């Protein structure tokens, strides 16, 4: 992905240089060897086989240093470029397999890259190897009941007590916290500062007195989101990333890492969704329905728009630009798109769409859902 000769990042060249294409060949060869024959993607496996695959997959990626592809070599990486990282993500998305596993995303993809930019040398040496090995799993403590889209209005606070921060407050929609070891938390550390100022980015252990993790049971019956309550929870004074009261800048940097990589890969996943919709319409005999066909065409057009918006965002990210409003626009765009796609799938399936996943119904073969995150030893029961 290279910018035009005038160096304006908004001008997009969607070709890739030879070095990254050679790396793409390497990744394709690895996937051809690593994936189950004739059954691409973890979603195509039955539950037992999916569990076996899931337990082994991060190890295989780590052996090739794919989990730390763009990290400096002194921290266990390969020292390759951001574009190599994007190529890897593209090929994993096309193959239907994750980058590590969903439960590793917050540690490997988000926090590790944030520590590489903002962390102290002690923080990097302590946490990066444990993130790669899977010894520590992480979650994100951003949103609060009254601070969702307006995150700067957060009320969780942290006060320094000797050599520890004491944290009080609540986070919500915390994905997978009930199976995790650590959480990175945005907390107000300066009560005199308003808005985006006075917020710090803290690393907090979850398994301690003063932390109460309460899972939500979703309509699907699965446990995924959580409320996390802090009542006198503690973490070491040195476990603040990027400096005290500088958490907003650090948090935005983390989101830039997330959205920069996803800019190229999300449209691949969305295109696969549209293809599944077409197959779903065929199985239910609605592929000739003019209204259904028109709605599928609408979905396809939106995916193409997102693809080129992603290229634009990605070009700036590869040139070192901080994420601007285009990354937030992309997030808003695909969230609204997903509402329409889900509505269409339910309209195609009719009442069959209300049957829990994994139970046979209608003319379609049941889809095996991704297995839930296994509980880690010593974690609280759910």
By the 8 A CB rule, do 173 and 164 touch? no
Q: Which residues contact 12 (CB under 8 A, 6 or more apart)?
A: 1, 3, 4, 308, 311, 312, 315
Q: Is 2 helix (H, G, I), strand (E, B) or coil?
A: strand
Q: Which residues contact 129 (CB under 8 A, 6 or more apart)?
A: 76
CA distance 360 to 362: 7
Q: Is 258 helix (H, G, I), strand (E, B) or coil?
A: helix
Catalytic residue among 258, 273, 304, 326: 258
Q: Is 45 helix (H, G, I), strand (E, B) or coil?
A: coil
Handedness of CA 321, 323, 326, 327 (dihedral sign): positive
User: Burial of 310 by CB count in 10 Å (0-12 exposed, 13-18 middle, 19+ buried)?
Assistant: buried
Measured CA angle at 273 (ends 340, 47), to 5 deg? 120
DSSP E strand stretches across the chain:
2-3, 12-13, 138-141, 157-161, 164-171, 182-188, 199-205, 211-217, 223-236, 240-241
Decide if 258 is catalytic.
yes
Q: How many residues does the chain have?
A: 382
Active site residues per annotation: 258
């Amino acid at each position: 992905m290279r910018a035009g000769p005038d160096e304006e990042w908004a001008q997009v060249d969607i070709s890739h240089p030879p070095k990254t294409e050679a790396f793409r060949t390497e990744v394709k060869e690895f996937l051809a060897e690593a994936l189950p024959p004739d059954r691409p993607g973890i979603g195509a496996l039955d539950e037992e086989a999916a569990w076996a695959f899931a337990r082994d997959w991060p190890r295989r990626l780590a052996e090739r240093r794919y989990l730390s592809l763009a990290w400096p070599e002194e921290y266990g990486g390969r020292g390759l470029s951001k574009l190599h990282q994007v190529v890897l993500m593209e090929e994993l998305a096309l193959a239907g397999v994750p980058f590590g596993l969903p439960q590793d995303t917050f540690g490997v993809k988000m926090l590790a890259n944030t520590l590489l930019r903002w962390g102290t040398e002690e923080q990097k040496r302590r946490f990066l190897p444990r993130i790669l090995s899977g010894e520590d799993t992480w979650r994100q403590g951003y949103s609060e009941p009254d601070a969702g889209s307006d995150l700067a209005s957060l009320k969780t606070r942290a006060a320094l007590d000797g050599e520890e921060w004491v944290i009080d407050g609540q986070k919500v929609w915390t994905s997978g916290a009930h199976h995790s070891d650590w959480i990175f938390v945005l907390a107000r550390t300066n009560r005199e500062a308003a808005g985006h100022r006075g917020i710090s980015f803290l690393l907090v252990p979850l398994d301690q007195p003063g932390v109460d993790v309460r899972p939500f049971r979703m309509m699907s019956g699965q446990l995924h989101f959580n409320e996390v309550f802090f009542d006198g929870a503690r973490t070491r004074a040195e476990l603040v990333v990027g400096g005290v009261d500088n958490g907003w800048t650090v948090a935005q940097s983390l989101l830039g890492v997330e959205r920069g990589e996803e800019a190229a890969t999300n449209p691949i996943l969305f295109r696969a969704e549209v293809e599944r919709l077409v197959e779903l319409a065929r199985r239910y005999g609605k592929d000739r329905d003019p209204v259904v066909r028109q709605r599928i065409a609408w979905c396809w057009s939106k995916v193409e728009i997102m693809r080129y918006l992603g290229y634009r965002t990605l070009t700036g990210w590869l040139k070192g630009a901080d994420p601007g409003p285009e990354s937030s626009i992309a997030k808003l765009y695909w969230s609204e798109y997903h509402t329409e796609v889900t509505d269409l799938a339910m309209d195609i399936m009719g009442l069959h769409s209300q049957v829990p996943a994994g139970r046979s119904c209608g003319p379609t073969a049941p889809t095996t859902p991704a297995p839930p995150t296994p509980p880690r030893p010593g974690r609280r029961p759910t």
